Amino acid sequence: MNRDLASYKFLDDAGDLFRFTGRFFQQWFKPRYEIAEFIRQCYIVGYKSLPLIGLTAFIMGLVLTMQLRPSMLKYGVEFELPAIVGIAIVREIGPVITALIFAGKIGSSMGAELGSMKVTEQIDAMEVSGTNPFKFLVVTRVMATTFMLPVLLLLGDAISLYGSYLGVNIRGDTSFTLFWMQVFKNLSFNDVLPAFVKSYFFGFAVGMIGCYMGYTSNKGTEGVGSSANSAVVLSSIIIFFLDLLAVQITDVLGFN
Amino acid sequence: MTEVQQATNKDQTMSITSVLVIRHLYKSFGKNHVLIDFNLEVHKGESVVILGKSGSGKSVLIKCVIGLLKPDQGTIEMFGQNIPDLDHEEIDQVRARVGFLFQSNALYDSMTVRNNLEFPLRRHWIKVTQEEVNSMVIEALEDVGLTHTIDMMPEELSGGMRKRIALARTLILRPEIILYDEPTTGLDPITAKEIIGLMREIQAKYDTTSVIISHDMNCIRTASDRVIVLIDGKCHAIGTYEELKQSDDPKVKHFFE
């Protein structure tokens, strides 16, 4: 077999990523538990991402409402605008856009940070200092992204719907209470649960790919930039694939 | 007493004073044979310099010693334990007695100088109170003359200061052996001289054993009791700096020209 083939390299990289993921699950349950570092990562990943995710969510809700309004008006269903926007944001647009923004901010920073630590021997220094660097750096980060993205999604959805409320009122007159009543009246458990569950998988994918790219970076300073870039690109693609998979699963399970 | 008994007694005497014994060490990366039948014995309180060109296997050797790389064959005995045979917990116990100064300093960018120094203390589960930790950190910083940097971030320090802080972090656990990976690389001659002086001071003060990887002749001349010339992964020559300087071997002479 010609080992230079792109397909061979793809399979080789995919195999490495799966092994890396397997190592995560192997190390996850083993003591010692890095709780302080996990909390610190939750703060960095969750709290520090909130302004960016909040801003993009707000603009997304506002713009989506304003773009939909003329079409809704044309068919005489303008009063359904909060319901339509609510379903679109909660079911699909919220989780995917939040995950993509999250991948851009957190995935790239993890790729660059761990890549830089590898190049400057900080990972080796940790090992010499009696620390399991995989557990300290990778497990805590992946757990933080997995648990923080759903929280950011809930906040992002709320901010997005508030943006939509302002969008509705630019050319209309809908009270705050009426807007939220219309949103929640048309949302069911089947809309919220799959979106919330898939955000855990998106968070896991962003953390795992960001850490994998950084931790396995091996081309000096050039490799650090490359790791950050690859982390964002691959995370984004995986998010769309997971979304495609999620819609099939929810369809089979009768959530659609 | 038979010859065998005499040899055994001699071996036992050697093993009492030897803190690091490397025997028949081999390490390859694919078809690249980095270390080939490497042997070394380091005695307590000694300062051994391993001299070699870039790519001769010096850093691989020192990483095998600290357990960051696993050799293909051979034994590395430190404090009576064979490093390649140890599990994670056992190797951590050995590492608590060994300091490692990285070529790139390897200070944690996201931590202050204080946290960088506290990190090995906390990670090795050493039972000390916060007051003791504080005094140990201050003492290590006093040893390198940089107490005023305690709350600074590594990015605020110069190259020489970073090297000193890295040395302070190495000292915090009071190691019995310190492994230096090219301690003067990337430093200006004056700072390099200061670092070498500091290494000698530390060795005298704490009675440590030093294994230094270097190709800086000034460092080798000042800091070595014994020099090992590593060529193509093999131990090519051993002797004091003066002995090797007088050597007729062209490969050895090449380093001292």
**pLDDT value at position A254?**
81
Instruction: Give the gap in angstroms from C-alpha B91 to the nearest C-alpha of chain A.
Output: 9
Q: What is the pLDDT of residues B145-193, one digit of tens each?
A: 899 999 999 999 998 999 999 999 999 988 999 999 999 988 888 889 9
Q: How many other C-beta atoms can be found within 10 angstroms of the C-beta atom of residue B45? A: 15
- Name the percent of chain A lying above pLDDT 70: 98
**pLDDT value at position A3?**
57
Q: What is the pLDDT of residues A217-252, one digit of tens each?
A: 876 778 888 889 999 999 999 999 999 999 999 888
Q: Are B41 and B24 in contact (CB under 8 A)?
A: no
Instruction: Give the gap in angstroms from C-alpha B108 to the nearest C-alpha of chain A.
Output: 6
- For residue A144, which of A3, A43, A29, A255 has the smallest C-alpha distance? A43
Give the domain ranges of chain B.
Answer: 108-174
Q: What is the pLDDT of residues B59-113, one digit of tens each?
A: 899 999 999 999 999 999 998 899 999 988 889 889 989 999 999 999 999 999 9
Instruction: Give the gap in angstroms from C-alpha A209 to the nearest C-alpha of chain B.
Output: 21
Interchain contact, A125 vs B100, CB within 8 Å? yes
Interface of A with B (CB under 8 A): 116-117, 120-122, 124-132
Instruction: Give the gap in angstroms from C-alpha A46 to the nearest C-alpha of chain B.
Output: 18
Select the residue from A48, A128, A137, A140 to test the B interface by mutation, using most B Cβ atoms within 10 A: A128
Between B15 and A32, name the one with better pLDDT: A32
Q: Which residues of B touch A124 (CB under 8 A)?
A: 63, 68, 102, 106
Interchain contact, B100 vs A127, CB within 8 Å? no
Closest CB to A131: pick one of B104, B107, B123.
B123
**pLDDT value at position A251?**
87
